[in-house]
Structure 1
Amino acid sequence: MNKKVISKKEWEEKLSEVNISKQDLNKLVMNFLVIEGYQEAAAKFQEESGTSSIVDLNSIADRMAIRSAIQSGDVEKGIEIVNDLNPEILDTNPQLYFHLQQQKLIELIRKGQISEALKFAQEELASQGEENEKFLEELEKTISLLAFEDTSKSPIASLLDHSQRQKTAGELNAAILTSQSQDKDPKLPTIIKLLKWAQTQLDSKCQYPRIKNFVNGEFE
């Protein structure tokens, strides 16, 4: 079956008929800058474009400091900053609070502070495990790291990977964004994914000027 061929001229004429306001595009850019934590760029963009953000841009620095603290293993500092920012975030999210405490336990195990880890698990996490079966399973899984003199040989050694810190930091970051009535993820990358998917669907039906460079919008 012959594919329909759409010329570049015809394609550009069709694209010109799509009405997208500059204001909507500016909101997409601001959404990306705020969620990804580019405080200075967001402030500059707000000044130059007149696009306002629904959150105080100063709060971005706090959110990035929290993420940085968790990713570096300083869970206590992260909790301290988030409580200064909005104590209700942890008060209303027991799962998030448990995962932060679990991360703190992981950091103690990472440092080889075995007695401190056991004491912390008993005093801070055991009661949460008693109230929630899922928490108890996660706690037992974490504690099982102590059964190995060389924790890297444990089947759950991945808990000690940097990716676990990133996972915990991501969960906390998403909770902060939700408390600020922000999306958990920026909209722009999702739109790019949808565009790539749409092109894939079109490929089997017609020949058209495909976008080959999504950074500068260059067509084939």
Structure 2
Amino acid sequence: MSGNEASAAPFSMKRWKESMNDLVIRQDDLDKLILDYLVVEGYADVARTFASEAKGCGEIIDPTLDARSAIREAIEQGRIEEAMDRINDYDPAIIDASPLVVFKLQQLRLIGMIRDGRGDEAISFAQTHMATHGKANPELLPAMEETIALLAFPSLDDCPLKGILSGAFREEVASLVNSIILRTQYRESESKLEYLMKVLVWGQTELSKRASFPKIENLTTGELVDPSDQRRGTESEDTEMQAQADLTRSFAHWV
């Protein structure tokens, strides 16, 4: 045990849950957190439905919501050219000022060509539209090379590069585009719920230095794990990035 860790007896699951049950959290506060997440992330239809059914949420006033929602939907459904047209219609400066956004969208277009078996077109597209981004931003080269590597596999079903082929990758790109649109409007691009998830991860990490207690190890399920059953090792598995990824996956199934 390090000098920073206390030798106090671990909190039992029973004691921990009793303490949690003593906390009073109002339902309308939870509803507002959820609605804030849906609006910030650009889920327009779900946000309006939720607001109409939840008490105390009030009317949604966000002039960017419908545009962001349409862009998100186009990206998540693989309609990348439509998404880029919508971004340009909304604000051409976003494309001009965000090389990472352009690269990620072009990467999704390239993946679509490879999925459709258009190998020669994919190579030409990468050389014409993506190579310049790689030269200007060397940190993007590995992602481009990984995408081109998809051409080496006869079947993408057996491809080990599942990450960039998944729907989760499109959701990641959609969230990136959404956050940049918000920032161009000088708006907060992180929802209150995301912030609280990060605080949870940080708080558990700090408290672990001083005591043993039931933790939430899987942020998707929110299930408490008894101290005797917890993973051993560092807390690096539950980083802020993991918190955001888990939160996005959780809501993606719901919306």
1:56-135 aligned at under 5 Å gives the runs 56=63, 59-135=64-140
- Residue 165 of structure 1 is matched in structure 2 by 170
Amino acid at match of 2:182: L
TM-score normalised by the chain length of structure 2: 0.59
Q: Deviations over 1:80-115 (max 9, x none)?
A: 111111111121111111111111101111111112
- Percent sequence identity is 33
Choose which of 129, 142, 151 in structure 2 pairs with 1:146: 151
Amino acid at match of 2:68: R
Q: CA separation of 1:51/1:159 partners in 2, compared to 1, >3 Å: closer, same or farther?
A: closer
Q: CA separation of 1:41/1:134 partners in 2, compared to 1, >3 Å: closer, same or farther?
A: same
Q: Distance in 2 between matches of 1:44 and 1:180?
A: 26
Q: Distance in 1 between matches of 2:169 and 2:31?
A: 34
What is the aligned length? 191
Q: CA separation of 1:29/1:127 partners in 2, compared to 1, >3 Å: closer, same or farther?
A: closer
Q: CA separation of 1:114/1:192 partners in 2, compared to 1, >3 Å: closer, same or farther?
A: closer
Q: Deviations over 1:128-161 (max 9, x none)?
A: 2222222222211111110111223333232211
Q: Distance in 1 between matches of 2:75 and 2:112?
A: 10
Q: CA separation of 1:121/1:51 partners in 2, compared to 1, >3 Å: closer, same or farther?
A: same
Contact 1:145–1:157 under 8 Å retained in 2: no
1:168-207 aligned at under 5 Å gives the runs 168-188=173-193, 190-191=195-196, 194=199
Look up the SS of the partner of 2:160 in the other structure: coil
Contact 1:29–1:188 under 8 Å retained in 2: yes
Q: Distance in 2 between matches of 1:151 and 1:109?
A: 9
Q: Distance in 2 between matches of 1:102 and 1:114?
A: 14
- Residue 40 of structure 1 is matched in structure 2 by 48
TM-score normalised by the chain length of structure 1: 0.67
Q: CA RMSD in A?
A: 4.0
In the TM superposition, what is the alpha-carbon distance from 1:122 to its structure 2 partner?
1.4
